[in-house]
Structure 1
Amino acid sequence: MNDWYRADVSAEYAAGLMQWLERRHIPAEQALADTGIGTAQLEGGLRLTTQQDAALLANAVRLSGNAGIGFELGLHSRLTWHGLLGFALMSCRTLGEALELWTEYLDLRTAGFCLSSHRRNGQLELHLQDLSPGAPMRACALERLVTMTACLGAQLTGEALPEVEIWFKDEQPAHFAAYAERLPRTRYSTGMCLVRMPERYLELPLATANAVALRQAKDQFEDERLRLGQSDCLVVRIKNLLPLDNGSYPGMEEVSQALCMSSRTLKRKLRLLGLNFRQLVDEARKSEVLRDVLNTGMTIDEIAERRGYSDAANLTRAFRRWTGESPSQYRAKLPYRLQRGEIAA
C-alpha cells in the first residue's frame, strides 16, 4: 500500500486529462476534489503519486460518465505530453530506436509500469508489467499506457501502421465497444498485456532525427533518474530478487528479464552507479551465508551446497575474506555476539 504514495506518474498526463475534461465543461475544482493534487503540482511539471493519479482518474470517470477514460487519453495523447522523452523519441533515427528508448526510460514518465521488448516470428512485442497491481483504477491506467504506446508509431512516422495490435490478458470490458473502431486491432483474454507490430516497421525512418539532441536528452535522463532516486530503487529491486527460494542465485539475464530490461541496459545502469551485478550477488550471498552460519542446525557443508559453493573450503575462504574468521570460529562466538548486540537474537 505504501508504494501507492510514491512519486509515480508525470503530472503532464494529468494536465492532458484536465484539458479533456475542460472541453467537456467539467470544472477543474470538481476534477481535483479529494485528490490531494494542487494546481502548482500540475503547472510545475511535477509527479503524482499512484494514489493521486487513481483518484483523478476515478473523478474523471464519475464526472464524465465515461469508463473508457484510459483509451480516450491514449488516443488524444501527443508526443509533447511525454516531455523531454517525447522530444528524444522524435530525435531517434528509426521507429525501432525510438521504441527501444521508450522501453528504457518509461520509468521517468510512470514508475508503476515497466516495459520489456521481445522479437518473435517477425514480430516485436512490447510487454507491459504492472508494478502496483493492487492499486485502484489500474485497468484505466493500463489502458492509457497501452494506447499511448500503440499510438507512438503513427505519431513518430506520420504514417498509418495498420498491423499494430494491442493484447490484454483479461476479459473485454463493456466500455471497449465505444472505442473498437478507433483503436488498433485489440485482443482480450490473451493472458498477457502487450503491444505488437511487424519487425519491418522498426526500420521506418523518422524525419525529425537529431543525434546530438538525442545524446543530450539521454544525459539529462540519467541525471533525472539519480535525482528521483530511481537508481537506488533499481539496486533495491535487484536485491529483492536475490536469492531464489531454493537458496541459489539467478544470473544477470534472469534478473534483467524480471526487471523488464535487457542485460546490456542493466549492466549500463549499474555501471553509472559504480556497481556491477557480480558485486550485488556477492553482497547478497555474504548476507545469506552469515545468516546460515548463525543457524547452528546447518553444517558448513550444507551451507556451502545451499549457497552455490563447490565445497566447504571455498566457502571458508570467502568467509575469511569477509570476516577474518572461519565459519566455525564465527559460530563459536555466537553467545558473545548476542550479548554484545552485534546480531539479533
Structure 2
Amino acid sequence: MRLGSPLNALLTGSSILPAQLADPHLEIDPDQELQVIHNLVRLHGKVPGLGLMAGSEYHLTTYGIWGYALITSPTFRQAVELGLRYLDLTFAFSKVELKQSAGVASIVLSVDHLPPAVRAFVAERDSSAIQVLQRELFGVSLPLRAMEFTFAPNAPMSQYEAMFACVPQFNTEFNRATFDEQWLNLPLPKSNETSAKFCEVQLESLLSRRMQRGGVSAWLRNKLLADISSSPSLAQIATDHFMTERTLRRRLTTEGTSYRDLLTEVRQTMAEELLTSTGLSVSEVSSRLGYSSPSAFIHAFQKWHGCSPRQFLDTRPEQVKRD
C-alpha cells in the first residue's frame, strides 16, 4: 500500500478478500501469503531494497506469543533455539538453521525450495526481520562478523549497512549472518523463566492445533512440499517437532496414510508440474525431488504413468520441453 499498489492487486490470486484483513482471527495459509509475495515482487520488484523494507516491519510484537517467548528466554541461545523450534508459527519462508564451529556461530537461511522469482526478496526480508528481532531483544545490534547473500545487491550499500551495520558480501554460497559464538550465551534483559515456560506450552499447543486442523497428513504434506529436495525422513521430522517417530506414524495411520504414501504423492504431483511448466530437464527435476539419480526418478515415474518422463511430455506438445 505504501508503494502505491491497490490492495486488490496485491491480493490477486490469493483468495483473500480485502474485507477479511480487518478480522483479527483471520488465518492466512502459506500458499496464500506466497501468492501475495509473488504479486508484491511482480509489481515492485525494482524498488531498491524491497526485501529490506519489508523485513524492517517485523517486530517482536508482530509475532504474538512467539515473540514474547523470545523476549522471556534466559539467553540469546535459548531464544534462537526456541524460535527455530516453532518457526512454523511465524511468517518466515526461509528454512533457518543455527550452525556453530570454532567459536563462530551462523544463522543460515535457505530459500532454494521457493520459486526463483521470490528467493532474493524472501532472503532479504527474513534476514532483515531476524536482525530487527535481535536488536529488539538486546536494545542494541550485536556486531556481525559477516553478512552474506547468494544473489547480487538489490539496493545501495547504504541501505544494507543501515540494516546490518556491515557491508554484506554478495553472490556467495549461502545466505548467512555470522557472529561470535560467545554472543549466544548473553543473558536477555527481560528474561523470565516462568513466563518462558508458559509461552512454550502455548506454542506447543498452537502447533498441535495447526497440525490437527487440517490433519497431520495435510501438515506433513506441506512440510514435504517445502523441503522436497532433501526429502527429510519421518524420524527427522518427528525429532524437529519434539515427538517420537512412533507417535507421528500412528497419527498418519489413523488418517489412513503413511509417510511413504505422502512422499510419493508429493513427488508425483511436483514431477508433473515441474516437467510441464518449468522447462527443467529430467535430471534437474530428479534433483529437485530428492532422488539419488535420474534413473531412480525415471523408474518411479514409469510406475506412476506407465511411461518415461520424455514420453509423458511428448503427449503434451503444447508444453515447454527441454532435453
Short-chain TM bin: 0.5 to 0.7
Separation in 2, partners of 1:230, 1:74: 31
Alpha carbons of 1:89 and 1:133: their partners in 2 closer, same or farther (altered >3 Å)?
A: same
AA partner of residue 182 (structure 1): A
Q: Write the mapping of 1:50-129 to structure 2, written as runs, cut at 5 A.
A: 50-59=34-43, 61=44, 66-110=47-91, 112-129=93-110
2:189 equivalent to 1:207: yes
Q: 1:113 to 1:223 in 2, by over 3 A?
A: same
Q: State how 1:1-345 maps to structure 2 within 5 Å.
A: 18=1, 21=2, 26=4, 29=7, 32=10, 34=12, 36=14, 37-44=16-23, 45-47=26-28, 48-59=32-43, 61=44, 66-110=47-91, 112-130=93-111, 132-134=113-115, 136-163=117-144, 165-173=146-154, 175-184=155-164, 185=166, 186-209=168-191, 210-227=195-212, 229=214, 231-232=216-217, 235-236=220-221, 256=236, 264-265=239-240, 268=243, 270=245, 273=248, 284=260
SS class of match (1:268): coil
Structure 2 distance, partners of 1:111, 1:272, is 27
Is the contact between residue 122 and residue 199 of structure 1 (CA under 8 Å) also seen in structure 2? yes
Deviation of 1:50 after TM superposition, in Å, equals 1.2
Counterpart residue identity of residue 53, structure 2: E
C-alpha separation between the residues in 2 aligned to 1:241 and 1:27? 32
The runs of at least 4 aligned residues of structure 1 exceeding 6 Å deviation read 238-242, 249-252
Q: Percent identity?
A: 21
Cα distance in 2 for residues equivalent to 1:96 and 1:112:
21
CA–CA separation in structure 2 for the residues paired with 1:160 and 1:95 = 13
Contact 1:167 / 1:190 at 8 angstroms: preserved in 2?
yes
Q: How far did 1:215 drift? A: 2.8
SS at match of 2:114: coil
Deviation at 1:176, TM superposition (A): 3.9
RMSD after superposition: 4.1
Structure 1 unaligned regions, length at least 5: 1-17, 277-281, 289-342
The 3 A distance-change label for structure 1 pair 239 and 212 is closer
Q: Which runs of 5+ in 2 are unaligned?
A: 252-257, 265-303, 307-323
SS in 2 for 1:67: coil
Which deviates the most, 98-107 or 218-227?
218-227
- TM-score scaled to structure 1, two decimals? 0.58
Letter of the 2:109 counterpart: L
Q: Residue 56 of structure 2 aligns to a residue in which SS?
A: helix
Q: How many Å apart are 1:191 and its aligned residue? A: 0.8
Helix, strand or coil for the counterpart of 1:136? helix
Alignment CA distance shift 1:138-1:41 (3 Å): farther
2:109–2:176: 8 Å Cα contact kept in structure 1? yes
| 1:83 Cα deviation after fit | 2.6
CA distance in 2, matches of 1:76, 1:241: 27
SS at match of 1:117: strand
In the TM superposition, residue 229 of structure 1 has moved relative to its aligned partner by 4.4
Alpha-carbon distance in 2 for matches of 1:283, 1:227: 16
Q: How many positions carry a matched residue from both structures?
A: 248
Structure 2 CA distance for aligned equivalents of residues 233 and 269 of structure 1: 18
| Deviations, residues 75-115 of structure 1 (Å, cap 9, x unaligned) | 34211122321122112111111111222222222474211
In the alignment, the residues of structure 2 paired with residue 153 and residue 133 of structure 1 have an alpha-carbon distance, to the nearest angstrom, of 25
- Range with bigger deviation, 191-200 or 209-218: 209-218
**How far does the alpha carbon of each residue in 1:286-335 deviate from its partner, in whole angstroms, 9 at most, with x for none?**
x99xxxxxxxxxxxxxxxxxxxxxxxxxxxxxxxxxxxxxxxxxxxxxxx
CA distance in 2, matches of 1:111, 1:275: 29
**Alignment deviations for residues 125-180 of structure 1 (CA, whole Å, 9 cap, x no partner):** 1221225432533311221011111332221122331226421122333x143413
Structure 1's 157 and 111: CA in aligned 2 closer, same or farther, altered over 3 A?
closer
Q: Residue 88 of structure 1 contacts residue 217 of structure 1 at CA under 8 Å; is this kept in 2?
A: no
Note if contact 1:164-1:197 (Cα within 8 Å) is conserved in structure 2.
yes
3-state SS of paired residue (2:207)? helix
Paired with 1:151 and 1:162, the residues of 2 have a C-alpha distance of: 13
